[in-house]
Chain A
Amino acid sequence: LAKTTQPISMDSYEGQEVNITCSHNNIATNDYITWYQQFPSQGPRFIIQGYKTKVTNEVASLFIPADRKSSTLSLPRVSLSDTAVYYCLVDKSGGYQKVTFGTGTKLQVIP
């Protein structure tokens, strides 16, 4: 199972771009990288998933270098409502059978 490592916390001012990097050195060939967002007292919510290179949706971008040993979630122009915990997961084919979420990165957006 690929283990992930990400910063425990980050602070950012409103309007800035935030980049959260996740390290997954032993990622397997058929593993995907998925990011989730969790607000207090809510269940996690899917943000973005990728396999290689760059993926972008209406919420975020995900950058994955060629060696796939890390990935970076990029949130453009954050607002106070982006304050949440962000989890990086690595697993094959979207299966969550034995994946743990870890402690995630607590992002605090400052006015």
Chain B
Amino acid sequence: NAGVTQTPKFQVLKTGQSMTLQCAQDMNHNSMYWYRQDPGMGLRLIYYSASEGTTDKGEVPNGYNVSRLNKREFSLRLESAAPSQTSVYFCASSDPAPGVAEAFFGQGTRLTVV
């Protein structure tokens, strides 16, 4: 039972390069999320997808784009990476419902932009 799988686990980019972070979940969840976590900080929501076919901005969307490819997959794209985007990126999924709240997180992608 894989849960939430993120690829890659580590990545080094040069300023201005682009890349896509992949996320897939096998729990048939409707909602998926992308967070970033800077050293010593909490997680901040970048984008989320409440259901297949919908996406919306979170707290820190600038410099990112997302695609909800299907119910399982939610990708995060950096079009022109900047050093300020050096962070650990977490993908999560959940099936929001009254009284059911557990979100499942991937292991993270550690991104360094030089």
Task: Give A contacts to B, CB under 8 Å.
Answer: 32, 34, 41-46, 49, 51, 87, 91, 93-104
Q: CA separation between A96 and B96, bound complex, in Å?
A: 8
Given A34-B101, A100-B45, output 7 extra A-B contacts at Cβ < 8 Å: A43-B4, A44-B103, A46-B102, A93-B98, A96-B48, A101-B43, A103-B40
Which one, B44, B45, B97, contacts A96 given CB within 8 A? Answer: B45
Could you list 12 examples of A-B contacts with CB < 8 Å?
A32-B101, A42-B108, A45-B105, A46-B101, A46-B103, A94-B99, A94-B101, A96-B94, A97-B48, A100-B44, A102-B42, A104-B42
Closest chain B residue to A32 by CB distance? B101
Residue numbers in A under 8 Å from B45 (CB-CB): 96-100
Say yes or no: B103 contacts A103, CB within 8 Å: no
Residue numbers in B under 8 Å from A98 (CB-CB): 45, 48, 58-59
Say yes or no: B98 contacts A41, CB within 8 Å: no
Closest chain B residue to A44 by CB distance? B105
B56 interfacial contact with A, CB 8 Å = yes
